[in-house]
Amino acid sequence: MTVSQVGPPEVQPAGQQAPAGRVHGNRAVLTASAALVLAVLVLSALSLSVGAGEVGAGDVLDYVLGRHGARDSSRLSLVVGDLRLPRTLTALAVGAALGTAGCLLQAVTRNPLAETGLLGVNAGASLGVVVGIAFLGVHSGYGYLLWAFGGAVLASALVLLIANRRGGGSPMRLVLAGSALGATFGGITSVLIVNSAETYDRFRFWVLGSLAGVEGFTKLTSLAPVLAAGFVVALLIARPLSALALGDDLAKGLGHRPGVIRVVVAVAVTLLTAASVALVGPISFLGLLAGFLARAVTGPRLTAQLVLAGLIGAGVLTGSDVLARVVSRPFEAPVSVIIALFGAPVLIGIVRSRRMASMGMTDPAADEGPKGGRTAPVRLPLPRKGEGGGDSLVVRTGSLSLLVHRRAAVAAFALAAVLVGAVVLSAYAGQSEMGLGRTFSAVFGSGDRFDVLLVQKFRLGRIVAGLAAGAALGLAGCLTQTLARNRLATPELLGVNDGATAAVLLSATLSGTFGAWWAGPLGALAAVLVVTAVSGGLGQRGYRVLVVGLAMSALASAVTQVVLSRRSLNSASSLYVWTSGSLNGRSYSVAVPVLIGLAVLVPLALVVARHLNVLRFDDSTAASLGVAPGRVRLVCMLLAVGLAGLAVGICGPVGFVALASPVIAGRLAGPLRVPVVGSMLVGAALVVLADTVGRVALDGAEIPVGIVTTVLGGPFLLWVLLGRSAATRV
């Protein structure tokens, strides 16, 4: 067996030729650089020649070279000088900035999945811009820069703080930490725009990311110094950052200070990202794509990576902008959607690439033993004193018997009591003239007739819809987490929620009315089938299923944003509230499909719960105990998809309920139980309580329940992610 040693690069004696491999590597980098420069030039020429105005390549060339009096033509000056040329230069600058920022983040975190969009930096910058728009009426490039800079600083600081904690180099922890931060920032952004039609009208086009609004050089020249500063800092920090790849101790031995290096990298990334968001809006996947492809060509040489990543980013954004102008003429497609169509397959290719092992991206489920044998079995926590056999009670009725676990039963009764309290509180909230006692009586149909009518007619219908949706999401999360053997594998992270949302909105576009509820389960099923097929099965542990789900979510989310941007303001505002997750206007009738689904699917889930306990071991152990893992996974997948799709079809995507419910219920019921009933009770209580908070938090305005759970769910995900418990460590 060959043993590789890590050490300083060999120094060649004077006059001795460099190794052939290094020469070939340098030639490959030079060849790739020349090819990229040529591609960027061709795409730039194409960008100048394509677009509105009926100005061909010959006229553009005459204008650029100043021939035949072309610059005296007002038409050419408008089309080329004021529109196409600034747009092309902006695309080149922003693409290079995002490519360089993504490469820097991947290097400092030693994580090939790190990217400004995935790590929440874009969401932080977007929140800053929305704050400026909503409260200060900001319109200028400098105004966008100021607020985008503040949001990006906050996001990048939090991400790097997580990266410096124990286990921070784990790719899945970093990606999910960024996802949590992005969700929280996105939720706060939604709070600011959901009750302001004017702010939302500007935001719904800006959030797609587009160069269509670039006119003249004013914004580009105002932000050019910031971009230039970011590029200079990136090049200056390249050499120290390369030393950091050897580890903090070796970097210190070479005279570098790791903490200072990370801070400088954060400054460079923030400058580049904030300026890019201020110019064209948030664009995801571009930094990831450019950084990964540059590394594939250059290897570990960071300076060459940065240069190639900048060229790749500039070329991809410019080419995507050209496609955005021609694919849906006479309209323009959002450039972020075009990039998502490229970026999502690349992201999926990254997690399935054989190069992942060499980049430290091995799947925990695929780790081999010391002899390269089978996968090590999953070790479940040993029962504590009072758990196991002594914690169970057999209830017999004639020939039938039921095994009841005391701790799980006590937890279920406690959760049921909390749920009743949540229902009473929700029925009482907003009714200042009715005390808790009268409200409690009215819930059960006794007391004053007006109180009963008010509570049961106008309040309980919404509450029942929330109970049904929450129970469905909680059970779906429990099934998904157990199925994937990962506490973070929830429907929203697997693309189910976004797939269902996109399907409902597409059905609304086709029918002209609000989408049918059955479109939700169909969209969820389509999303999970794609995720399952591409990731190699939901039995995969670790990052693979989750990252493929993130890619699926990005694609479905892009479709959703396009649908919203093409509708009238009133229609888009109403649909946006629903896409945030809302119980407003819901009643008994809209809850019926979910209740019927629960009546059918919950008994099935209880039947397979026993097999789910065994499925938490590896497949060979489960098979030896008489369980067919493939069949159980298929049943669980269909159950989870059906439940999550029904919930989304009724009240929209209520985020993080499916994540939090099984975690909370599992802590109460104990680690040896699959908390099927407890997850339903927790999910129902969380949705009802979040809806209550949304109704009373702001005077005269309502925050959709999905926004409340998203704002609170981000910190909860970070708590799960950074918790010390072995059950939640990833």
Answer yes or no: do 288 and 206 share one domain: yes
Answer yes or no: do 694 and 587 share one domain: yes
Quote the CA–CA distance of 476 and 39 in Å, as a whole number. 47
| The amino acid at 601 | L
Cα 309 off chain centre by: 23
Task: Using the predicted structure, report yes or no on whether residue 381 has a pLDDT greater than 50.
Answer: no
Highest mean pLDDT among 56-60, 224-228, 480-484: 224-228
The token pair at 141 is 């490039």
In terms of pLDDT, which residue wins out, 431 or 633?
Answer: 633
Q: What is the pLDDT of residues 570-591, one digit of tens each?
A: 777 777 777 778 887 777 777 7
Q: Name, in order, each residue with C-beta under 8 angstroms of 709's C-beta and a sequence gap of 6 or more.
A: 581, 654, 655, 656, 657, 686, 687, 690
Answer yes or no: do 329 and 468 share one domain: no
Task: Using the predicted structure, report yes or no on whether residue 512 has a pLDDT greater than 90.
Answer: no
Say what the pLDDT of residue 166 is. Answer: 54
Answer yes or no: do 339 and 445 share one domain: no
Domain membership flag for residue 391: no
Answer yes or no: do 145 and 237 share one domain: yes
Domain membership flag for residue 195: yes
Give the mean pLDDT of 367-380.
40
In this prediction, what percent of the chain has a pLDDT beyond 90? 9
* Domain end among 313, 333, 352: 352
Indicate the range of 43-52, 466-475, 523-532, 570-579 predicted with least confidence. 570-579
Quote the CA–CA distance of 563 and 583 in Å, as a whole number. 21
Answer yes or no: do 275 and 195 share one domain: yes
Q: Name, in order, each residue with C-beta under 8 angstroms of 332's C-beta and a sequence gap of 6 or more.
A: 210, 212, 324, 325
In terms of pLDDT, which residue wins out, 473 or 50?
Answer: 473
Say what the pLDDT of residue 288 is. Answer: 81
Task: Using the predicted structure, report yes or no on whether residue 683 has a pLDDT greater than 50.
Answer: yes
Answer yes or no: do 183 and 263 share one domain: yes
Length of the chain, in residues: 730
Domains identified in the chain, total number: 2
Give the mean pLDDT of 152-177.
65
Q: CB of 25 within 8 A of CB of 18? A: no
Q: Which residues pair with 404 in a beta bridge?
A: 393
Give the mean pLDDT of 176-201.
78
Task: Using the predicted structure, report yes or no on whether residue 317 has a pLDDT greater than 90.
Answer: yes
Give the mean pLDDT of 524-540.
71
For 612, other C-beta atoms within 10 Å of its C-beta total 22
Say what the pLDDT of residue 311 is. Answer: 94
Indicate if the alpha-carbon torsion angle 558, 563, 566, 570 is positive or negative: negative
Query: What is the pLDDT confidence band of residue 480, given thresholds at 50, 70 and 90?
Result: confident
In terms of pLDDT, which residue wins out, 507 or 688?
Answer: 688
Which of these, 717, 236, 39, 566, lies nearest to 575 by C-alpha position? 566
Say what the pLDDT of residue 193 is. Answer: 82
SS3 110: coil
Domain membership flag for residue 607: yes
Task: Using the predicted structure, report yes or no on whether residue 270 has a pLDDT greater than 60.
Answer: yes
Query: What is the pLDDT confidence band of residue 402, given thresholds at 50, 70 and 90?
Result: low
Indicate the range of 47-56, 289-298, 473-482, 649-658 predicted with least confidence. 47-56
Q: Which CATH number goes with the domain that contains 597?
A: 1.10.3470.10
Domain membership flag for residue 256: yes
Give the mean pLDDT of 514-542.
68
Task: Using the predicted structure, report yes or no on whether residue 600 has a pLDDT greater than 70.
Answer: yes
Say what the pLDDT of residue 595 is. Answer: 81
Q: Which domain holds residue 256?
A: 84-211+219-352
Q: Name, in order, each residue with C-beta under 8 angstroms of 398's C-beta and a sequence gap of 6 or more.
A: none
Say what the pLDDT of residue 100 is. Answer: 94
CA distances from 116 to 144, 269, 284, 316, 561 (A): 18, 8, 7, 16, 20
Task: Using the predicted structure, report yes or no on whether residue 724 has a pLDDT greater than 80.
Answer: no
For 502, other C-beta atoms within 10 Å of its C-beta total 28
Q: What is the pLDDT of residues 91-109, one digit of tens each?
A: 999 999 999 999 998 888 7
Domain membership flag for residue 298: yes
Domain membership flag for residue 50: no
Answer yes or no: do 430 and 337 share one domain: no
Task: Using the predicted structure, report yes or no on whether residue 230 has a pLDDT greater than 80.
Answer: yes
The average confidence (pLDDT) of the chain is 75
Say what the pLDDT of residue 541 is. Answer: 45
Answer yes or no: do 194 and 110 share one domain: yes
Answer yes or no: do 193 and 278 share one domain: yes
Prediction pTM value: 0.72
Residue for token digits 């079809």?
649
* Domain end among 313, 330, 352: 352
Domain membership flag for residue 653: yes
| The amino acid at 584 | N
Say what the pLDDT of residue 308 is. Answer: 93
Answer yes or no: do 433 and 332 share one domain: no
Domain membership flag for residue 384: no
Quote the CA–CA distance of 61 and 80 in Å, as a whole number. 10
Indicate the range of 139-143, 367-371, 439-443 predicted with least confidence. 367-371
Answer yes or no: do 423 and 333 share one domain: no
Which of these, 434, 124, 529, 114, lies nearest to 289 by C-alpha position? 114
Say what the pLDDT of residue 56 is. Answer: 67
Highest mean pLDDT among 199-203, 288-292, 526-530, 556-560: 288-292
